[in-house]
A and B are shown apart, each in its own frame.
Chain A
Amino acid sequence: MFKNILNELYQIDSSLRRHEKELIKLIQELLDKKPEVVLDKSFRKELREELLKRTEKPSLFLPFLKPVGFVALGALIFAAVILPFIGKDFESPFRFEAQKVEREGFGNLALKQEEVLGKGGGMTEASAPRLEMVDYSYSYTGEDFKVPEQMEVLKKKQAEVSFELGSFLSQKEIAGFDISKLKDPCLENFSLKDKDGYSVNVDFSSGLVSIFKLPVFQGGNVSEREALQTAESFLKEYEVDLSNYSEPEIRENIVLYPLEIQGKSVYEMSGTKTGLHINVSSEGVIGLWNLSFLSYESSVYMTASKERILSFVQKRKFNIPSPTRVIELELQDPEYGYVRFFREADEFLVPALIFPAYENGKYVESRVVPLIKEVLDKIESDSGMMRE
């Protein structure tokens, strides 16, 4: 082991050979200091039993804890969308699919300048804090990286089911109005409310489903473990398809299931992950939002150069003209992801690089850089940044 470690060190820095004795002493000291951590036998046994118990079940989810009034609701949520189509085959709108269209098939992503930005927040002067004049500067210290010349942009499309439902409903006469005269109708949204006050809202134009209890009932805080168990039981009970969501993250009483498209996380420009939110209290699940339809079209667009990406990510966060303090953050190796981007009502998932930012080695935040040239043009022009 010593020999291998020393050889590896010398491959990187041959001058270390002169210090071989010191290095051997140092490595030996580190080995000597390794604490003997002993795993508790009863814990080991209990966890093994728990794992084996779970392997016996088809699902890993825990039993439903507090059904409250959701039994009727669960039937409503998804059956409401599906009910008219019993016997028909159609793709679940909650499962990711992307239909390819021609190159730059969504037009100029930077059009409608006054409308495009704004839903994601992030690196604009408007978000600068008013009282504290603190700004953040960034320097990239990671490895060199390459960006492909072109990448696929995804555009969310209206789920087929909304057209099917529109067509189905338009066969009826409603309040004396013959809606069958409408041409190619599609259902934009609908709400269902059950007798316990649970409201299910399905918005086909944004492709989002939300559920709330009205009026909002009070409930106490729960531990992280309880919050997770309650959320997972609820999702299991109503067979919510989580194949496009990664491991849940818990923030107080909210469980976030981050959206994951083609193995990549989806971010807002602010650097936070987007996904399915479930609000939990001691009374059970009290709200669910951002359950997203995942039908997309994909089209190829030109990317920005690596130099421009680095220039963008190293801009100051708020761009305050005379900050009272500037905190210097170090950006490390990025990973690929998507960022949500809006052009009027159209929602796009734009390929992005996500740079983790550290202060003195401690993670602080993530910086998101869209990789498509037109999108960067738009953001920089909106935020008044000078492009190189």
Chain B
Amino acid sequence: MNIEEAVKLCKKGKLEKFAFLYDSYVEKIYRFIYYKTHHKETAEDLTSDTFLKALEKINSFKEGSFQAWLFKIARNTVIDYYRKKKSVLNIDDVWDLGKTDNIVKDLEMKEKLEKVYDSFSKLNSIQREIVLLRIWEDMPYKEIAEIVGKKEGACKMIFTRAISKLKNEIPLILLLLLCSKIY
């Protein structure tokens, strides 16, 4: 059975086939949400919400990539989560919060995320998201466009600008690293 067949069967009422879809995507969806929350329990809650919504709305999936549809649900779930917190924190995702010191409780993960913080915090949320999906998830632009609600060409442009920005930051980062080693 492949993804398309499982989706078709679910839409015909054989919802037990949703387990196949769950098994195929749960790791990816959890990872995607974790990158945006840096918090295990929150990522688990939002992953649950994502799959429950997907199961409930499976009949509304019409055409295109099921993966993109599922990621879009996950993305909207995370956006809703942060919008509800907007009265306290005006942020799109966890990268806007500043250094990860107070967010990540898992020490090992904290160290890993700090390595990437300097790069990602220089990008805006949509640039970050597209870089993350393209490079970390190896996702094609067509699906990225579906997920973030922009045109494919616009996604390519945003990615190119983000990479150019990061490229231009490299000498500065190297200089800072060098200085920190000297002193």
Which A residues contact B (CB, under 8 angstroms)? Answer: 1, 5, 8-9, 11-13, 16, 19, 22-23, 25-27, 29-31, 33-37, 39-40, 43-44, 47-48, 50-52, 54-56, 60, 143, 224, 247, 249-251, 332-333, 335, 359-364
Contacts of A247 in B (CB 8 A): 53, 76, 80
B146 at the interface (CB under 8 A from A): no
Interface centre among A9, A27, A36, A55 (most CB of B within 10 A): A55
Q: Smallest CB-CB separation from A31: which chain B residue?
A: B135
A5 touches B134 (CB 8 A): yes
Which B residues contact A (CB, under 8 angstroms)? Answer: 15-16, 18-19, 22-23, 26-27, 30-31, 34-35, 40, 44, 47-48, 51-53, 55-56, 76, 79-80, 83-84, 86, 90-92, 96, 109, 112-113, 115-116, 119, 124-126, 131, 134-136, 138, 141, 149-151, 154, 156-157, 159-160, 163-164, 166-167, 170
Given A47-B51, A51-B55, does the pair A26, B170 have CB atoms closer than 8 Å? yes
Closest 3 CB pairs of A and B: A361-B124, A55-B15, A35-B112
A33 touches B92 (CB 8 A): no
Q: Pick the residue among A55, A60, A249, A333 that contacts B16 (CB under 8 A).
A: A55
CB distance from A279 to the nearest CB of B (A): 17
B160 touches A39 (CB 8 A): no
Q: Smallest CB-CB separation from B96: which chain A residue?
A: A362
B163 touches A35 (CB 8 A): no
Q: Pick the residue among A22, A251, A359 that contacts B84 (CB under 8 A).
A: A251
In angstroms, Cα B96 to Cα A359, docked, is 12
B26 touches A47 (CB 8 A): yes
B84 touches A224 (CB 8 A): yes
- The contact sample of 14 A-B pairs, CB cut-off 8 A, is A8-B141, A13-B160, A22-B167, A43-B44, A48-B23, A51-B18, A51-B22, A55-B19, A56-B16, A247-B53, A250-B84, A333-B154, A362-B125, A364-B90
Contacts of A39 in B (CB 8 A): 26-27, 30-31
Q: Pick the residue among B51, B113, B135, B159 that contacts A51 (CB under 8 A).
A: B51
In angstroms, Cα B119 to Cα A302, docked, is 48
A35 touches B113 (CB 8 A): yes
B52 touches A54 (CB 8 A): yes
Contacts of B113 in A (CB 8 A): 35
Contacts of A37 in B (CB 8 A): 30-31, 34-35, 109
In angstroms, Cα B49 to Cα A247, docked, is 11
In angstroms, Cα B47 to Cα A48, docked, is 11
In angstroms, Cα B55 to Cα A54, docked, is 9
Contacts of A35 in B (CB 8 A): 35, 109, 112-113, 116
In angstroms, Cα B53 to Cα A249, docked, is 13
In angstroms, Cα B159 to Cα A361, docked, is 15
A44 touches B26 (CB 8 A): yes
